[in-house]
Structure 1
Amino acid sequence: MITRLLVANRAEIASRVFRTCRALGIETVAIHSDADARLPYVAEADLAVPLAGNAPADTYLRADLVIDAARRTGADAIHPGYGFLSENADFARAVIAAGITWVGPQPEAIDAMGSKIEAKRLMAAAGVPVLEAPEEPTQADLPLIVKASAGGGGRGMRIVRTLADLPGEIDRAAAEAASAFGDGTVFVEPYVERGRHVEVQVVGHPDGVRVYGERDCSLQRRHQKVVEEAPAPRLPDATRRALHEAARAAAEAIGYLGAGTVEFLYDQAADRFYFLEMNTRLQVEHPVTEAVHGVDLVAEQLAVAESSASAGAPTHAQADDPEPEGHAIEVRLYAEDPEAGYQPQSGRLTTFEIPVETGIRVDTGFASGSEVSTHYDAMLAKVIAHAPTREAAARTLAGVLDRARIHGLTTNREQLVAVLRDPRFLAGDVTTAFLDVPSPARARTGHPEVAATIALAEADRARRVVQRGTPVAWRNVVSQAQRTTFDDGTEVAWYGGRTGYTVVDGPTVVEAGPTRVTLEADGVRTTYDVAVDGLSVDVDWPGGHRALRRTPRFTDPADAVTSGSLLAPMPGTVVRVDVEVGQAVGQGATVLVLEAMKMQHTVSAPAAGTVTEINVKPGTQVASGEVLAVVEGEAP
């Protein structure tokens, strides 16, 4: 029996595993880097062990430190979560060798599926359909995709549409794979346009493999999943059964034990599917399967681990696979800006509140006030809706996201809501190319900039230490309107005084306060919740959310930068500098590459010119907004 379990991971997945442990009466141990010390999962655990440093290579990827933490806390089991060491067979062996129960598949199974290249050979031998990679690609084979052999999550993947680009894309994919997984091995295979990503959940028991249906994970950006659902929509019953049996055959071929996912690429036009890979761990999107099948997959993992530790005692896996009930949809809420190429965001979540209503589940590793660092993945939370029908699940989930209060960082919340309400999505027309065509955004009505202006004025009033009774913006002789401007160019003209606020060419101010403002326009009253944090203002109302920043009256000269300066779009580490001082560059030429939140980001020359300054070198840690280099443009 497992009595105390350490989770060799962080944030959301650690909290998720702890939840099941509490239900089963198992004590818990958290490990955390310096950056994660104040995240909620650390406080949720019975015991916590700090790991000095922040970089994954110094903390969560240090198998020796993880096992030592288990020894020092008396943990008799380790759950790896996902990512980090979860699919590291050597780590699994080290855990077992230390006399600690490993909550995961046997190391041999991890080895068998650890290399996508070898896994495809193994699956082909087992009769599972695979995509055949061309030995010498030609124009007829395009498009192609370059993939990392040792990892996933979209890192080390590049689509190639021109043969001349293939060598460069292989080099870039290999570099990213080496950085993310410590293995730069990549391979090339045909790329199926508008394919669907369908995966099957299996749980291998000593007495058989059980299949818990399939999930559709086609909606992706940067080859990373954004929306997942179960069961997969618009999938012929015969194809569904064939997918399940192919996944079972894959698991049986390696004698798999525990929870795992067999991923397939489904060509809907041809009604054919191909093996992609097997994830020998719990998947991020496992909650949708739990919702429709009424199963706790972490509890299943623990049961199999205890069975394996007891010399393979039967766990009584049922012969019949369970049927799904209703439909579940999960969205991944990321700290990123879809309008800026999905650029990751970091900083403090001043407010983070997602309503938990009937049929809604929220798995998160953050709370209001949490810091989102640059060292790890940008996912803030998974929000899951379970309802009798797919349409109802989508509608409920969109509504909850709309009502969430998320301040401090830009997120993909608006994109998720637009997707869930997109007629294409509601019709089940989901493919890996779905996000290539933006979903229609709902028209946002309201006057958030006016609400922000009035709340700022009221906040100023509340801070007064003298003349508190004087009306805001009162003047003996009124010469002109007050003007409040915001960084996005919005300007509000208004008057104050004994009779309250008057907005020029705007709505009527019915009620004013520093946190709540009611406005009336065209006979309709709307109440806005406003949060003022210095110059930053967040406004939530039934029409959505808007983040504004008040433009200061005077600019600090220290904030000025040289024309042509290339600024760091986010905090991160410089991994490559491609130019030298004095070098002429063309518009769009790569100047340097920055790594943040497990992804590499290219900083390019905005215009043709000459590099006059380089302030960084590989390995340099930079802050957001820091001047990295200067490219002086050509004279007109």
Structure 2
Amino acid sequence: MSASAPTSFDKILIANRGEIACRVIRTARDLGYRTVAVFSDADRDALHVQLADEAVCIGEATASQSYLNMTAILDAARRTGANAVHPGYGFMSENAEFARACQAAGIVFIGPPVDAIHLMGSKRLSKIAMQDAGVPCIPGYEGEEQSDEQLLKEAKRIGLPLMIKASAGGGGRGMRVVTDASDIPEQLRSARSEAKNAFGSDELILERAVMRPRHVEIQVFGDTHGNVIHLGERDCSVQRRHQKVVEEAPSPAVDDALRARMGEAAVQAAKACDYVGAGTVEFLLDDKGDFFFLEMNTRLQVEHPVTELITGLDLVAWQIRVARGETLPLTQDQVQLNGHAMEVRLYAEDPAAGFMPQTGPVLAWQPASGEGVRIDHGLRAGYRVGSHYDPMLAKIIAWGDTREDARRRLIRAVEDTHLFGVTDNRRFLAAILRHPVFAEGAATTAFIGADFADDAGMHALAPQSHHWAIAAVLLSSQSPVTTRHWRNSGPHTQRLVLLQGDTRQTVSLAVSATAGPGVLDVTVGDQQHTVRLGASNQCIDNQSIEVDGVIRQPAWHRDGTQLWLDDAGQVFSISDVTHAPPATTAGAGTGQIRAPMDGAVLDVRCAEGDQVSKGQVMVLLEAMKIEHSLTSDVDGIVASVTVRNGDQVKGKQILLSITPDAPEA
């Protein structure tokens, strides 16, 4: 590759949102660049909008009308005078047409060349290119002939277990593992359909499935002067439905010799497509130490912070320097890996409810801090987590001299990060990090589905007696009857009815007759507790609360009659329903189909007057890039349908009602 002339730009538009937009803005600002944020109607109050020097609304809340609106993004650059665009990851980051449009508009695209994006965006074409370059690949079929007959023939040749993959996409969509030959025709049809809907292309490739592998990726960097190096590997084996959950660097399964071989193959892959900028070559690593090309991501990865922590480098700064024509800051021999780093992804989801995405306001947010801890996020109190985008909210990262140091620090960082107002997956993440298989460094891509499948971190957590006691004291302390007004001259008891999930608990509080002012005797069922509470406030607070002689430091936030309580990573939302009206009878088995969250109606599969059966799919709802099937909870006749395809709905909104069949006499 011939060296290009230096490129000049002074204002960078970040064509993204959330934590990655905030991450890029901070580095760009540190390097002296002015920054421009773009935002949708739903993100007007988002943190990345506040951090940038300028911000432009580019459309409605749906991604197709905003963050995927190429015309609006380029117009925002023109209006603000931005002469460079950083795409982050997701959205337009691997869109070759967007990179070409930036080039045509005279705007520097801080990413790889158009041809590299196009080639690596196709699993079929990229695999052919990697085979030609001598990069190890999984045996399979990546031919242009895509008829059902040809794919069935090739599937028989490859044998079982078989992996079916959408050529154009990622994230597990259009991907199927087949272990029974009789399932191949239906799985081909299903994969084609999902790929077409998700990526606009139903092109497939077939591969021999590598069972229980590790997912190991190599960070590569190239410049316009022909230099390409790698910055070591990341292990991303802990996944749920092909979505990464935990990432770490270096991999516990990779030694120096294997790292050199995998790094050389990754550099070879990058050179084969004249790669420039940050990229990631992903491999599957089997238990024999053999590795196979999976794909190349032509962008910055979500998990890039773990590489930054073990190398001491700023990869976004490297991207910017390469984009302006500079050579790579280091040669391969100068790259050093120090210590160990781990990252987990904080999601607005409920693992105990099948990982259902969650929406709601951020009432309070307090990221952990401390030695070796880094939190990348785009959150602030007052922001509302909606249904239009991916539910990832933040990344919690920790570094240590050893893997065990990093793991232990990360567990504490996860538990010391407090998010109130929307349910998240922190307890699930901490449970993974504590699991003995993960602690030993033995987790493969099958870990969550096998070793972790029945872990308590996947299920709802019930408050213990002392949690009810703490909640009762915190909810009562600012009610009309406060601890400051409780009488010591005689018995005075306050009775509260608390609700957590579907569980009601009656709690009684009285001033201690023996311990003096400020101490309460709290009765929870047949359990007795003595609670001492200091001065309180109405914000997130790690307040000292003494329960039965043990001083605790829970974080909490009160919002009216609702309390969010976080006790060392055990999080509960508890409400005071003492004076609430009796609960209505609407609920399971009533025939009312409600939206579980904010979302868009994809398909209404019934009409008024239809006879339906319990378990039958009534509505398909899309929220946070995930499709949800809403089913009837009764046998009966559809009485009313209040939504149509394409409608935006709110959580708990009634979508349709069914009149249950009369019980048999």
TM-score clears 0.5: yes
What SS does structure 2 have at the residue aligned with 1:298? helix
What SS does structure 1 have at the residue aligned with 2:444? coil
Q: Is the 8 A contact 2:496 2:576 kept in 1?
A: no
Change (3 A) 1:560 1:440: closer
Which residue is 2:567 aligned to? 541
Percent identical: 41
Change (3 A) 1:165 1:602: farther
Q: What is the one-letter code of the residue matched to 2:655?
A: L
Which residue is 2:21 aligned to? 14
Q: Is the 8 A contact 1:585 1:608 kept in 2?
A: yes
Q: Is the 8 A contact 2:137 2:293 kept in 1?
A: yes
Q: Is the 8 A contact 1:514 1:530 kept in 2?
A: no
1:348 is the counterpart of 2:367: no
Structure 1: which 5+ residue stretches go unaligned? 308-312
1:395 is the counterpart of 2:408: yes
Structure 2: distance between partners of 1:618 and 1:147: 29
Aligned match for 2:54, one of 47, 70, 90? 47
Which residue is 2:506 aligned to? 492
> Shift in Å at residue 525 of structure 1?
3.5
Q: What is the one-letter code of the residue matched to 2:627?
A: Q
Offset from partner CA, 1:38-97 (integer Å, 9 cap, x none): 111111111111123111111111111111111111111111111111111111111011
Change (3 A) 1:528 1:331: closer
Which residue is 1:310 aligned to? none
Which residue is 1:551 aligned to? 577
Structure 2: distance between partners of 1:375 and 1:580: 27
Q: What is the one-letter code of the residue matched to 2:557?
A: A
Structure 1: distance between partners of 2:183 and 2:604: 21
Structure 2: distance between partners of 1:171 and 1:74: 47
> Shift in Å at residue 399 of structure 1?
0.7
Q: What is the one-letter code of the residue matched to 1:520?
A: V
Which residue is 2:446 aligned to? 433
Aligned match for 1:330, one of 343, 347, 357? 343
Aligned match for 1:417, one of 427, 430, 449? 430
1:565 is the counterpart of 2:592: yes
Q: Is the 8 A contact 1:30 1:41 kept in 2?
A: yes
Structure 2: distance between partners of 1:62 and 1:422: 43
Root-mean-square deviation (CA, aligned residues, Å) is 2.9
Q: What is the one-letter code of the residue matched to 1:575?
A: L
Aligned match for 1:508, one of 501, 512, 530? 530
Aligned match for 2:318, one of 277, 293, 300? 300
Which residue is 1:471 aligned to? 486
> Shift in Å at residue 150 of structure 1?
2.1
Change (3 A) 1:633 1:380: farther
Q: Is the 8 A contact 1:335 1:412 kept in 2?
A: yes
Structure 2: distance between partners of 1:385 and 1:369: 27
What SS does structure 2 have at the residue aligned with 1:320? helix
Which residue is 1:86 aligned to? 93
> Shift in Å at residue 542 of structure 1?
4.0
> Shift in Å at residue 534 of structure 1?
2.1
Offset from partner CA, 1:371-429 (integer Å, 9 cap, x none): 11111111110111111100100000101111222111111100111111111111001
Structure 1: distance between partners of 2:484 and 2:352: 45
Q: What is the one-letter code of the residue matched to 2:468?
A: E
> Shift in Å at residue 361 of structure 1?
1.0
Structure 1: distance between partners of 2:433 and 2:634: 38
- Superposed, which structure 2 residues align to 1:208-287 within 5 Å? 208-268=227-287, 270-287=288-305
Structure 2: distance between partners of 1:612 and 1:475: 61
1:624 is the counterpart of 2:646: no
> Shift in Å at residue 580 of structure 1?
4.8
> Shift in Å at residue 545 of structure 1?
2.8
Offset from partner CA, 1:126-170 (integer Å, 9 cap, x none): 122222336323599444444332222333434444555555555
- Superposed, which structure 2 residues align to 1:145-224 within 5 Å? 145-163=163-181, 165-205=183-223, 206-224=225-243
> Shift in Å at residue 323 of structure 1?
3.1
Structure 2: distance between partners of 1:160 and 1:614: 38
- Superposed, which structure 2 residues align to 1:117-132 within 5 Å? 117-132=124-139
**Paired residue total:** 623
Which residue is 2:419 aligned to? 406
Structure 2: distance between partners of 1:81 and 1:469: 53
Q: What is the one-letter code of the residue matched to 2:219?
A: Q
Offset from partner CA, 1:445-487 (integer Å, 9 cap, x none): 771211111111112137x9xxx97538x99997x87242314
Q: What is the one-letter code of the residue matched to 2:550?
A: V
Larger mean Cα displacement after TM superposition, 129-138 or 58-67: 129-138
Offset from partner CA, 1:255-275 (integer Å, 9 cap, x none): 11111001111222x322221
Which residue is 2:540 aligned to? none
Q: Is the 8 A contact 1:453 1:492 kept in 2?
A: no
Change (3 A) 1:316 1:406: closer
Change (3 A) 1:614 1:445: closer
What SS does structure 2 have at the residue aligned with 1:434? coil
Offset from partner CA, 1:294-319 (integer Å, 9 cap, x none): 11111111111111xxxxx6446514
Q: What is the one-letter code of the residue matched to 2:366?
A: E
Larger mean Cα displacement after TM superposition, 162-171 or 506-515: 162-171
What SS does structure 2 have at the residue aligned with 1:35? helix
Q: What is the one-letter code of the residue matched to 1:415?
A: F
> Shift in Å at residue 498 of structure 1?
8.7
Aligned match for 1:604, one of 619, 628, 631? 631
Change (3 A) 1:542 1:67: closer
Q: Is the 8 A contact 1:176 1:600 kept in 2?
A: no
Structure 1: distance between partners of 2:204 and 2:612: 30
Structure 1: distance between partners of 2:466 and 2:491: 28
1:373 is the counterpart of 2:400: no
Scaled by the length of structure 2, what TM-score is found?
A: 0.86
What SS does structure 1 have at the residue aligned with 2:207? strand
What SS does structure 2 have at the residue aligned with 1:202? strand
- Superposed, which structure 2 residues align to 1:87-102 within 5 Å? 87-102=94-109
Q: Is the 8 A contact 1:5 1:28 kept in 2?
A: yes
Change (3 A) 1:343 1:168: farther
> Shift in Å at residue 514 of structure 1?
5.2
> Shift in Å at residue 251 of structure 1?
0.6
What SS does structure 2 have at the residue aligned with 1:395? helix
Q: Is the 8 A contact 1:349 1:370 kept in 2?
A: yes
Q: Is the 8 A contact 1:155 1:599 kept in 2?
A: no
Larger mean Cα displacement after TM superposition, 105-114 or 606-615: 606-615
